[in-house]
């Protein structure tokens, strides 16, 4: 007859030998470091290529030259739309969205727009200048040169508009233009 196993009293025998204190931390640390390294490599290799360097544009554009004035009809300011955004704290920002298009044969390196908000009597209550082409670039926003035939959406934000503004779209005109 086969021998029956003897009942074991107390705790069962361990399936593995105890490792020195902290033995599980090393593999976990290695796994975390490998994961972070893989993520960093993925982000580095997946980033978009850098745009070609644009020629330096002065901080202040000179007054419109006769050459720039002759080219002005080739630079179109497309349809404008006003919108307003409010956060949960009640702060409001009014946005002016428009399209800027270069219909001419030359490359535009800088454009300065002057935006004027008017009151009901057509007096200017707010005037701001912005540079959507040739200004400092921001992440995800191209401010490089405008190639021939290229159109670019432009969004201009205004945090504080005067109370006496007539609620109509502002006047927008080109007050600075540099050509390549």
- Structural domains present in the chain: 66-179 (2.60.40)
Among 15-24, 128-137, 142-151, top mean pLDDT goes to 142-151
Q: What is the DSSP letter of 146?
A: B
For 137-169, the pLDDT digits (tens) are 555 566 789 999 999 999 999 998 999 999 999
Q: What is the DSSP letter of 47?
A: S
For 169-180, the pLDDT digits (tens) are 999 999 999 998
Q: Judge whether residue 7 has pLDDT over 60.
A: no
The CA distance from 51 to 154, in Å, is 19
Q: Judge whether residue 48 has pLDDT over 70.
A: no
pLDDT for res 153 = 94
Mean pLDDT of the chain: 83
168 within 8 A of 121, measured Cβ to Cβ: no
Q: Judge whether residue 44 has pLDDT over 90.
A: no
């Amino acid at each position: 007859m086969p021998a029956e196993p003897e009942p074991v009293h107390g705790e069962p025998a361990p399936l593995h030998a105890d490792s020195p204190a902290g033995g599980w931390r090393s593999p976990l640390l290695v796994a975390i470091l490998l994961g972070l390294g893989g993520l960093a490599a993925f982000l580095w290799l997946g980033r978009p290529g850098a745009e070609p360097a644009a020629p330096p544009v002065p901080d202040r554009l000179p007054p419109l030259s006769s050459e720039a004035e002759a080219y002005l009809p080739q630079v179109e300011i497309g349809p404008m739309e006003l919108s307003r955004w409010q956060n949960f704290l009640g702060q409001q920002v009014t946005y002016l969205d428009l399209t800027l298009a270069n219909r001419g044969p030359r490359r535009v390196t800088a454009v300065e727009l002057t935006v004027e908000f008017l009151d009901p009597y057509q007096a200017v209550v707010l005037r701001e200048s912005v540079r959507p082409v040739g200004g400092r670039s921001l992440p995800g926003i191209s401010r490089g040169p405008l190639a021939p035939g290229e159109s670019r959406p432009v969004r201009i934000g205004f945090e504080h508009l005067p109370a006496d503004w007539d609620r109509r779209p502002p006047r927008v005109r080109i007050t600075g233009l540099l050509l390549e």
